[in-house]
Amino acid sequence: NAGVTQTPKFQVLKTGQSMTLQCAQDMNHNSMYWYRQDPGMGLRLIYYSASEGTTDKGEVPNGYNVSRLNKREFSLRLESAAPSQTSVYFCASSSDRTQETQYFGPGTRLLVL
């Protein structure tokens, strides 16, 4: 059981470039989430998916798009990266949204120059 996996671990982009962060979970969870964590800060929710086929905006969705490809996979796309999107991105999953015991991946460190 790998839990929640994220790729890549680290990425450097130039302003205006695009990229997709991948996330997969093998726990058969219904709900998946994307957060960003800026240095010395807490986590802020970007998007979430309550179940396969649905996605909703979180606190800071601007500049991002997501795709819930299937029950296992939830990707985050930056269409035109900006320096303000330099952050660590965490994917998480949970079986029951109401209970909200979330299991987090190891994170992707993104640097936008």
The contact pattern for another protein, residues 48-87, with x = CB under 8 A and - = no contact, is x-x-----x-xx----------------------------
Judge contact between 2 and 104, C-beta under 8 A.
no
Name which position in 64, 102, 110, 112 contacts another protein (CB under 8 A): 102
- Part of the chain binding another protein (CB under 8 A), chosen from 20-28, 66-74, 78-86, 105-113: 105-113
Judge contact between 112 and 95, C-beta under 8 A.
no
Least separation in angstroms between residue 101's CB and another protein is 5
Contacts with 16 (C-beta within 8 Å, 6 or more apart), sequence order: 80, 81
